[in-house]
Structure 1
Amino acid sequence: MAPRGTVVALSGGIGGAKLALGLARRLPPGDLAVVANVGDDFEHLGLHVSPDIDTLIYTLAGLADPQQGWGRAGETWTFMAALEALGGDTWFRLGDGDLAMHVMRTHRLAAGTPLSEITAAACTALGIATRVWPATDDRLRTRVRTDDGWLDFQDWFVGRRAQPAVREIAFSGAAAARPLPAVVAALAAPDLRAVVICPSNPLISIGPILAVPGLRDALASCAAPVVAVSPLIGGRAVKGPTAAMLADLGIGATAAAVAAHYGDLLDGFVLDEADAAAAADVGVPTLVTRTMMLSLADRERLADDVLAFVDRIGATPA
């Protein structure tokens, strides 16, 4: 019989959501909780947009656009076309169906409802058994310093297409942010089976989560194995600026460098077959497997591999 217990996953958007879906499909209903990055959140056209939370929700609900990995499948763009015709701000595209999520969230936030409660209600409405938790209900925003000065994350990532190079990263509001109590409780719970850090950007997707006071300590002290899945394959990211950012900040665009970045948080590390030679340079037990997730079957297979790996680590005497 397979072990039972809660698996807590830390995730950003597209890459993390793929593994989260695989885990959700391979675990019993309710056994998975996903802690989502909120550093990408921002206000646009008067609306509160939570890109990583929404990517997780749409992916888990089977609504995500399979080509883009973000947004809703079958989306229409009447609103954006009308906005453009009026000379409005269209650098960040909001689909017609996606607008409903942002309008609902903004309305409820204005009424005093916490982001975590709004997220839980959206999951329930869309039939998602997995718990999706923002790392904090407080305001936390990622900013990057470039040769053009400090920029808000979405201005840099979407508005400037991840250019110019990042020299420094800051998490505005992190020092005053409070971790979501449900996350802290889950990490301390006796039935915690494992913590899985998904193959998300360690700097701008997982970094904001770990910047919330108390969460890094809660991870470091939890009794269950903490395992990270490398976001790199052969030194390259499947999508997004991960490899470039790691190189530009002097960390190194290698699987071993990612493991070193997480440091003593890890009890295990999963890396792709293309990076098998780096396994010897990682100071914790490793699993070498195929981490590319092109299909639903790939996501389920990787989830199975990761779960078997954490259970082996958990069964090994300290």
Structure 2
Amino acid sequence: MTSSPRVVVLAGGVGGSKFTLGVREALARRGAPQATVVVNTGDDLWLSGVRLQPDVDSILYALAGVNDTERGWGRAGDTERVNHELQQWDAGWPWFTLGDLDLGTHLARTGWLREGLTPTQVAERLSRRWPLGVRLLPMTDAEVDTRVLVEGGDVMHFQEWWTRHRARLVPRAFENAGMDAARPAPGVIEAIAEADVVLVAPSNPVVSIGPILAVPGVREALAATSARVVGVSPIIGGAVVRGMADVCLAAIGVETSASAVARHYGARRAGGLLDAWLLAEEDTGLAPDVAALGMTAAVAPLWMRDVAASAHIADAALAAAIR
């Protein structure tokens, strides 16, 4: 691998946005080309007539430096006058807040979609506003919103399960209707084929990374690429960093441990995804278990407290690719 590698990142959610900031910083220091970030769109939904893409927007806002770092979603300094008015009309979801600035993004996106642009073209147009330093691609241009089958038989949109119920309803399955007919967004397969390194962000393995890997053709592209595929553990010391990824993992029979998630992804030499897995220092003792799976096990501090720390993690992941 050269000192200025071509990098593709698979990402979603807050963990994905923080990691992407680190990758951008690490590559800029190396004078490397901008990374291509393939973003989960399984969280997407229609609400009050507008199209929301929560993971795309989280990463967009983080790269632009306008994200609300305290809440972990939306725009910094946003107001909620329109959201309040929607509630007065009994429209939308009273438990799902749309900030006014955030709503401006959704309205722009919806207008462009109505004019015939694809989600890929919309992402490119949204990216023009700020110097992001990466190329953002949705995983697919198809609508494959995540649905959750909960105990008792009810089916609901992922955002209702995650935001309204805070994942307290026991999930039995996650599904993306229409995924079989979906195709990777233009540029996704080409970026993977031309990459030197593919980094799997420390995002939720089930509902952030899982949908990306489920798009027909993506796993095949990852199996065929000459790039090294390196994953970063979203589990530190046997616990999730934030969110409810442990609940999602339990639903698919995976325990909340760094080695179990590595096993879930699998080693590429054995038909899985990864060539290397980056564990937290707290999980150093699991390195032999990971190596036994058939992938390189590397260890580094994984707390993404700021951009510098995230860049350190990105550097460690790139170093694992060399090994």
TM tier, smaller: over 0.9
The match for 1:94 is: 98
| Secondary structure in 1 matching 2:208 | coil
Provide the aligned length of Structure 1 versus Structure 2: 310
Q: Is 1:137 aligned to residue 145 of structure 2? A: no
Structure 1 92/31 Cα, relative in aligned 2: closer, same or farther at 3 Å? same
Measured after TM superposition, the shift of residue 107 of structure 1 is 0.7
1:291 to 299, 302, 312: 302
The answer for unaligned runs of 5 or more in structure 2 is 267-271
Task: Give the direction of change, closer, same or farther, for the CA distance of 1:78–1:161 in structure 2 (3 Å limit).
Answer: same
Contact preservation (8 Å) 2:223, 2:273: yes
Pairing of 1:14-163 with structure 2 (within 5 A): 14-28=14-28, 30-88=33-91, 89-148=93-152, 149-163=154-168
AA aligned opposite 2:299? V
Asked if structure 2 preserves the Cα contact closer than 8 Å seen for 1:22 and 1:302, the reply is: yes
Query: Whole-Å Cα distance in 2 between the matches of residues 14 and 218 of structure 1?
Result: 26
Unmatched segments (≥5 aa) in structure 1: 314-318
Partners of 2:22 and 2:98 in 1: how far apart? Answer: 27
- Residues 1:268 and 2:276 aligned together: yes
Contact between 2:147 and 2:176, CA under 8 Å: does it hold in 1? yes
- Could you tell me which residue of structure 1 aligns to residue 269 of structure 2? none
Q: Which amino acid aligns with 2:118?
A: P
Q: Residue 30 of structure 1 contacts residue 131 of structure 1 at CA under 8 Å; is this kept in 2?
A: no
- Deviates further, 211-220 or 148-157: 148-157
Distance in 2 separating the partners of 1:163 and 1:292: 26
Q: Distance in 2 between matches of 1:86 and 1:171?
A: 31
What amino acid maps onto 1:163 in structure 2? Answer: R
* Matches of 1:8 and 1:69, distance apart in 2: 23
- TM superposition shift of 1:74: 1.0
1:210 aligns with 2:224: no
Could you say what secondary structure the match of 1:204 adopts? helix
After TM superposition, give the deviation of residue 87 of structure 1 in Å. 3.7
The answer to whether the Cα contact below 8 Å between 1:166 and 1:249 also exists between their aligned partners in 2 is: no
Residue identity opposite 2:65 in structure 1: G
- 8 Å CA contact 1:235–1:243 kept in 2: the answer is no
Larger displacement relative to structure 2 (25-34 or 151-160): 25-34
CA distances 1:21-64 after superposition (whole Å, capped 9, x unpaired): 11011213742010000000000111100000000100111111
Q: How does 1:109-258 map to 2 (within 5 A)?
A: 109-148=113-152, 149-189=154-194, 192-258=195-261
Q: CA deviation at 1:133?
A: 0.3
Distance in 1, matches of 2:159 and 2:246, equals 18
Pairwise CA distance, 1:12 = 0.8
Give the Cα–Cα distance (whole angstroms) in 2 for the partners of residues 193 and 69 of structure 1. 31
Which residue pairs with 2:6 in the alignment? Answer: 6
Identity of matched residues, %: 40
Kindly provide the CA deviation profile for residues 124-171 of structure 1, in whole angstroms up to 9, marking residues without a partner as x: 212213101001111111111111322211121112221211111112
C-alpha distance in 1, partners of 2:117/2:83? 28
- SS class of match (1:308): helix
SS of match in other structure, 2:7: strand
Which deviates the most, 104-113 or 27-36?
27-36
Task: Give the alignment's Cα RMSD to 1 decimal.
Answer: 1.5
Task: Write the letter of the residue equivalent to 1:249.
Answer: I
Q: Which residue of 1 aligns with 2:289?
A: 281
Equivalent residue, structure 1, for 2:315: 304
Give the superposition deviation at 1:209: 0.5
* Contact 1:4 1:193 (C-alpha < 8 Å) held by counterparts: no
